[in-house]
């Protein structure tokens, strides 16, 4: 049984997990920095780095304690190497490299987006490939065709804002604070999603790309004209427009690829309405759908360990001697388009 330590410090969460065999979570500790960044209405990179440095030692210890293991018991150390905030990534990378150097254990660099995709295997260990995967987070809104673990084809991506970024920006302009997704999700339950018809951007026929800057601007114009009144209705109407596009494009991608399985993951996949409507649409279309538990959709170390699992088995790990100089995985040609 391979036990992998997974580390993610790509943005504002310090997370370390231990995962056995790529599917069984033995621990998954997440130290959130929301309280700090909340004051500034968004993530402040310099503060994020400092908080990662403070948190990473205790989070690592908690991850081992909760798993009931010692460092010697681990088979490999996996870490997000990008994409993300450079200073934040460096904290996790340096920590991981130190552990690997001190123990001689394999060090496995993981692309953060591949981590999100592989969270599906934590939720559904029997999930078979191929599948279409929507990764919808604060930094990305991408559709992939996953032929096998490690082999992904980019089908479409946002041309401007990511969906999570739109949630965060709209929340800010409605005076609801950061992070916007969970607040809008909660507030929208009390609102009328038909109150305001915000635009849905589908782009060219058959395009699997996204665009969310128009809806953000539409909310801004609406608020300038009418004031931030009936905020619950605005939140619900905005959320409905985003969910409509995400569901339609994901189903279109499955159709174009003739895929029978769909995965939806990333922070925005924690959204209750998206989950509900994606389930309904996939059921109607006869597609198998996996949306990981909300805790596995937002950033976490377990998904990084899950992604590292197949690499370890294919011998695609690196030892400390080969320094991890590049901070993101764009050099991995199997991750086409990133
Ligand atoms: O995957 P993630 O934790 O970090 C990135 O890789 O970006 O995603 C964070 C994003 C934020 O934009 C946050 O507002 C959004 O996910 N988010 C949500 C919800 N929970 C988190 N968006 C909509 N509804 C939610 N319940
Ligand atoms: Zn993420």
Residues found in the chain: 338
Output the CA 118–ligand 2 centroid distance in Å.
Answer: 12
DSSP 205: T
Ligand nearest to the CA of 265: 1
Superfamily of 127-293 according to CATH: ATPase, nucleotide binding domain (3.30.420.40)
Could you give the CA distance from residue 5 to residue 71 in angstroms, rounded to a whole number?
A: 9
Output the CA 266–ligand 2 centroid distance in Å.
Answer: 6
Task: Give pLDDT, residue 233.
Answer: 97
Output the CA 84–ligand 2 centroid distance in Å.
Answer: 8
Measure Cα distances from 178 to 36, 166, 277 in Å.
10, 12, 25
Provide the terminal-to-terminal Cα distance of the chain, rounded to the nearest Å: 32
One digit per residue, pLDDT tens: the chain, 338 residues?
899 999 999 999 999 999 999 999 999 999 998 888 888 888 899 999 999 999 999 999 999 999 999 999 999 999 999 999 999 999 999 999 999 999 999 999 999 999 999 999 999 999 999 999 999 999 999 999 999 988 999 999 999 999 999 999 999 999 998 889 999 999 999 999 999 999 999 999 999 999 999 999 999 999 999 987 899 999 999 999 999 999 999 999 999 999 999 999 999 999 999 999 999 999 999 999 999 999 999 999 999 999 999 888 876 554 433 333 333 433 333 333 33
pTM of the model: 0.92
Could you give the CA distance from residue 172 to residue 181 in angstroms, rounded to a whole number?
A: 11
Ligand nearest to the CA of 164: 1
Output the CA 252–ligand 1 centroid distance in Å.
Answer: 23
Cβ distance 105 to 99 under 8 Å?
yes
Indicate which atom in ligand 1 lies nearest the CA of residue 165.
12
Output the CA 226–ligand 2 centroid distance in Å.
Answer: 34
DSSP 158: B
Measure Cα distances from 20 to 70, 73, 78, 264 in Å.
14, 11, 13, 23
Task: Give pLDDT, residue 145.
Answer: 97
**In testing the pocket of ligand 1, which one of 112, 164, 188, 241 has its CB within 8 Å of the most ligand atoms?**
164
Cβ distance 310 to 150 under 8 Å?
yes
Cβ distance 71 to 29 under 8 Å?
no
**In testing the pocket of ligand 1, which one of 37, 48, 181 has its CB within 8 Å of the most ligand atoms?**
181
**Which residues lie with the beta carbon below 6 Å from any ligand 1 atom?**
11, 137-139, 164, 167-168, 179-182, 185, 266-268, 270-271, 298-299
**Residue 98: which residues within 8 A CB-CB, separation 6 or more?**
none
Question: Looking at the chain, which residues constitute the CATH 3.30.420.40 domain(s)?
Answer: 3-117+297-335, 127-293
Q: Choose which CATH entry (3.30.420.40, 3.30.360.10, 3.90.1720.10, 1.10.10.60) describes domain 3-117+297-335.
A: 3.30.420.40
- The 3-state DSSP composition of the chain as helix, strand, coil percent (nearest 5) reads 45, 20, 35
Task: Give pLDDT, residue 316.
Answer: 58
């Amino acid at each position: 049984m391979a036990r992998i330590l997974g580390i993610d410090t790509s943005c504002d969460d310090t997370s370390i997990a231990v995962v056995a065999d790529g599917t069984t979570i033995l621990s998954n500790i997440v130290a959130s920095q929301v309280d700090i960044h909340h004051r500034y209405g968004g993530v402040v990179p310099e503060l994020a780095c400092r908080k990662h440095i403070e948190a990473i030692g205790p989070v690592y210890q908690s991850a081992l304690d909760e798993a009931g293991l010692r460092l010697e018991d681990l088979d490999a150390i996996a870490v997000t190497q990008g994409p993300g905030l450079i200073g934040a990534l460096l904290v996790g990378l340096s920590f991981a490299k130190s552990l690997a150097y001190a123990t001689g254990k394999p060090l496995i660099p993981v692309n953060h987006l591949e981590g999100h995709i592989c969270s599906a295997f934590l939720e559904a260990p029997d999930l078979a490939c191929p599948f279409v995967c929507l990764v919808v987070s604060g930094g990305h809104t991408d559709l992939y065709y996953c032929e096998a673990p490690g082999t992904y084809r980019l089908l479409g991506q946002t041309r401007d804002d990511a969906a999570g970024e739109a949630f965060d920006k709209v929340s800010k302009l409605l005076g609801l604070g950061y992070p916007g997704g969970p607040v809008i999700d909660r507030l929208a339950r009390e609102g009328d999603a038909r109150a305001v018809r915000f635009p849905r951007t589908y782009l060219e026929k058959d395009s699997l790309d996204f665009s969310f800057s128009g809806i953000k601007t539409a909310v801004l114009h609406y608020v300038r004209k009418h004031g931030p009144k009936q905020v619950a209705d605005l939140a619900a109407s905005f959320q409905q427009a985003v969910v409509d596009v995400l569901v339609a494009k994901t189903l279109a991608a499955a159709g174009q690829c003739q895929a029978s399985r769909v995965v939806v993951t990333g922070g925005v996949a924690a959204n209750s309405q998206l989950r509900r409507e994606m389930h309904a649409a996939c059921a109607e279309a006869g597609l198998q759908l996996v949306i990981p538990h909300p805790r596995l959709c937002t950033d976490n170390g377990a998904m990084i360990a899950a992604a590292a699992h197949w690499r370890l088995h294919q011998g695609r790990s690196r030892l400390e001697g080969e320094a991890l100089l590049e901070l993101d995985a764009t050099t991995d040609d199997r991750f086409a388009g990133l």
